[in-house]
Amino acid sequence: MSTIGSSSTTTTASVRATLAGGRRGDLPGTVFQVLLLGSLLFSLAVLAILVADVLGRAIPVFAERGLGFLTSPLSSNPAKAGVGQGIIGTAVLGGIVALLAFPFGLMTAVYLEEYAGDTKITRFIQINIRNLAGVPSVVYGLLGLSVFVAFMSAIGDTGSGRNIIAGGMTLAVLVLPIVIITAIEALRAVPNTIREAGYGVGASRWEVTRMLVLPSAAPGILTGTVLALSRALGETAPLILAGAVLGSFSGLNLSTLFSGSYTALPVIVYDWSRKPGDAFRADAAAAIVVLLVITLVANGIAILLRNRYERAW
Amino acid sequence: MAQASPALPPGISLRGSAARRRRETIVRAVFLGAALTTVVISLFIIETVLVEAIGFLAQIDLSQLIGIGWFPRRGIFDVATLVIGTLIVTVIAMLIATPVGLASAIYLSEYATPRVRRTVKPILEVLAGIPSVVLGFFALTVITPGLLKPLFEDANAFNLAAAGIAVGILSVPLVASVAEDAMRAVPRNLREASYGLGARKITTSLQVVFPAAVSGIVAALILATSRAIGETMVVAVAAGAPQARTLNPLDPGGTMTSAMVLLASGSDQVTGNTAAFQSLFFIGLLLFIVTLVLNVLGDAFVRRARQRY
């Protein structure tokens, strides 16, 4: 018995050693895991270097100019140029995008999820929305240029139609598919029992949608809209094609806000980045800080909304 | 509904008030109208791009499409220059996004603890949310002087390689998130069967989970390629402008997208020069077709991946 017992102990030990890959352990496995972790850290490192580089260039500008940088207009003199017009432009564009993309996106999502049956037309609309989401943003710029700018010009805009409303419409169309797709996901997450409870007490489809489904899906819909908005605020190419001004222009008052020249923060970043000389590069970095603060605040609000109201049904 | 209730006593209807039914019809019509605007948008895009592109081809001599480079203001529209530039940037971008994105996806799906996932995923989302013009600035001020210049002395201050690297960085979160979704959708029992046969984690990840998720992984790579081809501002900031045809990634150059932005932003002359102006739409048409084909293909793979399990 004792011999058998001891031999079984050695067998167990040797089996265990074999399973563990012998004395050298699981070397390929460890190397693999380190490589995987390394690639994840690569992204984080890039993000850290980017932020450090931008801040390093921007802090002297803010230290020297203070809030003046945020309020001064554009200028060909880097020591005077500021992002005041860009901040106003970006804020107005954001407002136009929210006013247009949110209602249209929400209504489309409600139609597809709550009203439409699984017909050929519905499926065609869905495929079309997915394809629109993949169209490069610069192509939306062409649409803005030849449809919205032309429309503004036709209804008598003095600046040949290249105004901020045309720019805002272009961005709204650009993010519309994102708003629709995230709203559809939010509506899909609302359990059917809630709808059936509504129909059970005699509510019509619109009443069920308005009183039961939309309130339940609101956090998800809002999160998606804010994310889409933050994407719109960072877009550059469509605005350049649709006529945002590069370089400087004068005039920054409310009477010309909707009809005059306009620019936006990312357009300013593009313009200043390409100018020769370190002075404008520093200004560009400072403008990037302002842009990142705005988009990160928007993203942060979206993530907070999601975490605060996230519900498991 | 009304016909389906023959048992009801006469005079009683379940159809509700006429006003309520009318409101129901109006609401439905308005929502359908909103849904149809998305179709109208597509039609507008196609119409705009097609009409102006045909106008461009009708206006120029077709021999102008082949030349020494992309000089729209001189009437030389060598499309090959832009296609080569696009290929250089896209290939470099995918050389970075493929290994880094897939490795991140495997780690997040197979190795990471829930806590690591909760910390790392938002950071990837932040990286995905950075405006591309900012990545262009990063390529111009960090990648070229900090990485490329020390390695290659003859790298230009504006070059395609730096733009490609930055576009790759921008595509990592997309590859990682689509590929991770695909790998997490692989059922648990496949992994357990593999462990039951004595396979190690690396073997299970690479030889069981990865092949099972291959449709979704292919979809991730196709969608990222499409994204890289359509990426505009990184190239417009960091790569300079398209000039003579070049195969050297260390030269300045342009892609289809950056050429469009440069045409629109160069100066107002382009509005007077009809051919140069319309060439915008011709490149736009090429870009639209290429990305549409890739997106439809990527979508098909995503759907195949979903149907598997």
Q: What pLDDT was estimated at residue B141?
A: 94
Torsional class of A21: left (φ above 0), alpha (ψ -120 to 50), beta (otherwise) = left
Q: What is the pLDDT of residues B211-234, one digit of tens each?
A: 999 999 999 999 999 999 999 999
Nearest C-alpha neighbor of B294 from the set B171, B180, B186, B182: B171
* Residue A172 contacts residue A235 (beta carbons within 8 Å): no
* pLDDT band of B62, cuts 50, 70, 90: confident
Q: Is the pLDDT of residue A18 over 70?
A: no
Mutate to test the interface with B, among A113, A236, A281, A297 (most CBs of B within 10 A): A236
Sort B6 into a burial class: Cβ within 10 Å, 0-12 / 13-18 / 19+. Answer: exposed
Q: What single DSSP character describes residue B244? A: B
Listed range (A136-140, B99-103, B155-159, B270-274) with the worst mean pLDDT = B270-274
Q: Is the pLDDT of residue A3 over 50?
A: no
Q: How far apart are CA B113 and CA B95, in angstroms?
A: 28
Contacts of A86 (CB under 8 A, 6+ apart): A74, A263, A264, A265, A267, A268, A287, A290
CA distance B293 to chain A (A): 10
Q: Is the pLDDT of residue B123 over 90?
A: no
Q: What is the DSSP string of B9-24?
A: PTT--SS--HHHHHHH
Mean of per-residue pLDDT scores for chain A: 87
Sort A9 into a burial class: Cβ within 10 Å, 0-12 / 13-18 / 19+. Answer: exposed
* pLDDT band of B186, cuts 50, 70, 90: very high
* Residue B233 contacts residue A270 (beta carbons within 8 Å): yes
* Residue A179 contacts residue A228 (beta carbons within 8 Å): yes
Other CB atoms within 10 A of residue B273 CB: 14
* pLDDT band of B72, cuts 50, 70, 90: confident
Q: Is B168 on the interface with A (CB under 8 A)?
A: no
* pLDDT band of A2, cuts 50, 70, 90: very low
Contacts of A114 (CB under 8 A, 6+ apart): A187, A205, A208, A209, A213
Question: How far is residue A282 CA from its own chain's centroid?
Answer: 25
Mutate to test the interface with A, among B13, B113, B126 (most CBs of A within 10 A): B126
* pLDDT band of B1, cuts 50, 70, 90: very low
- Do A285 and B103 count as a contact with CB atoms less than 8 A apart? no
Q: Collapsing DSSP states into helix, strand and coil, what is residue B226?
A: helix
Token representation of residue A176: 């519309």
**Rounded to a whole number, what is the distance in angstroms from the first to the last CA of chain A?**
60
Nearest CB to B42 within list A108, A115, A132 = A132
Mean of per-residue pLDDT scores for chain B: 89
Residues of chain A neighbouring B53 (CB-CB closer than 8 A)? none
Listed range (A187-191, A225-229, B118-122, B175-179) with the worst mean pLDDT = B118-122
Q: How far apart are CA A129 and CA A116, in angstroms?
A: 15
Q: What is the pLDDT of residues A95-120, one digit of tens each?
A: 999 999 999 999 999 999 999 988 99
Which position has the higher pLDDT, A17 or B247?
B247
- Do A299 and B126 count as a contact with CB atoms less than 8 A apart? yes
* pLDDT band of B20, cuts 50, 70, 90: confident
Instruction: For chain B, state the CA radius of gyration.
Output: 26
Q: How far apart are CA B105 and CA B112, in angstroms?
A: 10
Q: What pLDDT was estimated at residue B28?
A: 93
The amino acid occupying position B120 is: V
* pLDDT band of A207, cuts 50, 70, 90: very high
- Do B230 and A138 count as a contact with CB atoms less than 8 A apart? yes
- Do B291 and A177 count as a contact with CB atoms less than 8 A apart? no
pTM across the whole model: 0.89
* pLDDT band of B21, cuts 50, 70, 90: confident
- Do B284 and A173 count as a contact with CB atoms less than 8 A apart? no
> In percent, how much of chain B has pLDDT > 70?
92
Q: Is the pLDDT of residue A183 over 90?
A: yes
Q: How far apart are CA B232 and CA A156, in angstroms?
A: 32
Full 3-state SS string of chain A? CHHHHHHHHHHHHHHHHHHCCCCCCCHHHHHHHHHHHHHHHHHHHHHHHHHHHHHHHHHHHHHHHCCHHHHCCCCCCCCCCCCHHHHHHHHHHHHHHHHHHHHHHHHHHHHHHHHCCCCHHHHHHHHHHHHHHHCCHHHHHHHHHHHHHHHHHHCCCCCCCCCHHHHHHHHHHHHHHHHHHHHHHHHHCCCHHHHHHHHHCCCCHHHHHHHHHHHHHHHHHHHHHHHHHHHHHHCCHHHHHCCCCCCCCCCCCHHHCCCCCCCCHHHHHHHHHCCCCHHHHHHHHHHHHHHHHHHHHHHHHHHHHHHHHCCCC
Mutate to test the interface with B, among A129, A135, A223 (most CBs of B within 10 A): A135
Q: Is the pLDDT of residue A6 over 60?
A: no
* pLDDT band of A153, cuts 50, 70, 90: confident
- Do B133 and A269 count as a contact with CB atoms less than 8 A apart? yes
Nearest C-alpha neighbor of B81 from the set B67, B89, B69: B69
- Do A288 and B41 count as a contact with CB atoms less than 8 A apart? no
Q: Which whole number is the average pLDDT over B15-35?
A: 89
Q: Is the pLDDT of residue B201 over 60?
A: yes
Q: Count of residues for chain A?
A: 313
- Do B44 and A143 count as a contact with CB atoms less than 8 A apart? yes
> In percent, how much of chain B has pLDDT > 90?
67
Q: Is the pLDDT of residue A286 over 80?
A: yes
Q: Is B218 on the interface with A (CB under 8 A)?
A: no
Q: Is the pLDDT of residue A1 over 60?
A: no
